[in-house]
């Protein structure tokens, strides 16, 4: 199953690859060069297909839990000053996504969407300390009555050229539901209340919509 954000790119890529393979068959010699070009084209298609895959995830809703919004590796767990929305200290948990990870963003908690804002910006590598403030990004805040407010931020990386965000202020979010997509490399930051019980450690790989980040 592929994410809807990739349908157009997949179709264009498939068409280009098919044309390339046909042209190589009729016009490229020797045979080893023809086969090499076709193999490279097919590998490129496979990479595009795996990038836009959208596996079904079974989320068990729990208003006391914050679940991983994306697949990837936990690269930051620290107290920081969040100055865009909360303007106070929060516990930041950041998940880095490599190009081979699933890039679907899912709502970490269910509840009302209080804030959703897009920021144009740079394309520093996603692990750069200033990426959270200078890169292209979106900031979303969701609140439920049990856990409170959770902010998550989609951040473009060096390869990412478009962030898709479905969250709209005033709408109700379902925990684990599709919240957007980041095309080609990125990271997501979570900002949680101080004192939150974190359920992950640095370097841990997590699965979006499934693994519990905090409770």
User: 69 with 163: CB under 8 angstroms?
Assistant: no
CA distance readout (Å), 163 to 9, 100, 121, 187: 15, 17, 11, 11
Structure tokens given for 176: 């684990």
> Please, which residues bridge with residue 182 across strands?
163
Give the closest residue to 160 by CA, choosing from 181, 139, 140: 181
Q: Which is the catalytic residue, given 94, 116, 132, 186?
A: 186
Structure tokens given for 183: 């095309």
Whether 174 is catalytic is no
- In angstroms, the CA 113 to CA 116 distance is 7
Residues belonging to the active site: 186
């Amino acid at each position: 199953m592929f994410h809807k954000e990739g349908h157009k790119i997949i179709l264009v890529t498939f068409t280009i690859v098919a044309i390339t393979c046909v042209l190589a068959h009729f016009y490229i010699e020797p045979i080893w060069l023809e086969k090499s070009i076709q193999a490279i084209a097919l590998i490129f298609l496979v990479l595009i297909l795996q990038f836009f895959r959208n596996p079904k995830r079974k989320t068990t809703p729990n208003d006391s839990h914050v679940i991983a919004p994306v697949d990837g590796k936990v690269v930051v767990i620290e107290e920081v000053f969040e100055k865009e929305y909360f303007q106070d200290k929060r516990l930041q948990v950041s998940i880095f996504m490599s190009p081979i990870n699933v890039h679907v963003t899912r709502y970490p908690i269910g509840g009302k969407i209080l804030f959703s804002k897009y920021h144009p910006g740079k394309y520093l590598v996603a692990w750069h300390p200033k990426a959270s403030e200078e890169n292209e990004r979106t900031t979303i805040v969701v609140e439920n009555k049990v856990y409170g407010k959770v902010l998550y931020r989609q951040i473009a990386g060096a390869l990412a050229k478009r962030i898709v965000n479905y969250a709209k202020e005033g709408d109700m979010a379902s925990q684990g539901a599709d919240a957007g997509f980041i095309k080609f490399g990125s990271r997501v930051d979570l900002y949680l209340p101080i004192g939150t019980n974190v359920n992950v450690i640095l370097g841990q790989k997590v699965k979006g919509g499934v693994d519990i980040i905090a409770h």
